Structure 1
């Protein structure tokens, strides 16, 4: 006798306001020598760190330091021969993102982006909750189909996570906000998890 199965797909979602903001900033400086350009960029980065009024200095992390000849750059931001750039990542709570941007700009830095998201533990909790909701929904669908066949749902034979990114489907971990926009307050972020489950059918 051939085993009877039913396969269902479902998506679970959890929506929450972000608890983390990350400001990506740059300290850019020019000089006539590569070493001087690097040193000037580092000095400007130090000024940006000390200018922050809402975050501790250890929350301002250097992610890259590089020096290039200005002629190698498509749009150099200095008329000096060399341009030094130190990229900074500043983590803060969403409520202070605007202050971080202002402090950075007033210190002479530039802001590339402001990104809203979740701390690791919160993100993992939301993922787990969304996955549990997806599994429960998949079983509800299977039970409805089984009743139509005058059967009952048995054990799970196979389960896999799927990647559905249509509309609000898919895992959304971050929301980007242009720092030039009128509002630096984040909107709620939806985290979605989708599954495909194969159940055995019992008489």
Structure 2
């Protein structure tokens, strides 16, 4: 995915105001009440400016999600695969239980807007790409087979958090992030996610170092 150019100056300030307004309106009023006019009013921006740049609610939600990829986040390096996966899971659990619940609200909105759904997929692809380094480090240490499929391992480690908090909507279990991480790491060390005959570390289509997913 090509790097997106960040607007600067007044344009950047307006964008920040509008995206903050989208988040607030979505959490406070829900997707059905989210409108361009409501966002413009909360942001203190003329509605014509919002319509011209973002067109509709789908465009606004997509930009909120795309903006999340402008950070410099990287997964922690704890020195072990279970530790790295547990650190990732704790961050996921924090995001999914945060108040106001912007993360869960955006996930829910992606089921109502095709444009938001595509943007959310781009966000997941970006995060999976960044997290492949966790698998690469483990393979270099000899903790898991060299041909471990990074995405399969990452999904196995993190899926229990989404299942519990998004699908079942049950209270967060403080033990789950560590348990899910240990279970996935043990399965990986036993070769459950190995891809014999593939590239080492099972990189994505983006290159031999697995730096991109597509």
Query: TM-score normalised to the size of structure 2?
Result: 0.25
| Structure with the higher strand share, 1 or 2 | 1
- Of structures 1 and 2, the one with the larger relative CO (CA 8 A, separation 6+) is 1
Query: TM-score normalised to the size of structure 1?
Result: 0.26
| Structure with the higher helix share, 1 or 2 | 2
Q: Give the number of the structure whose alpha-carbon radius of gyration is greater.
A: 1
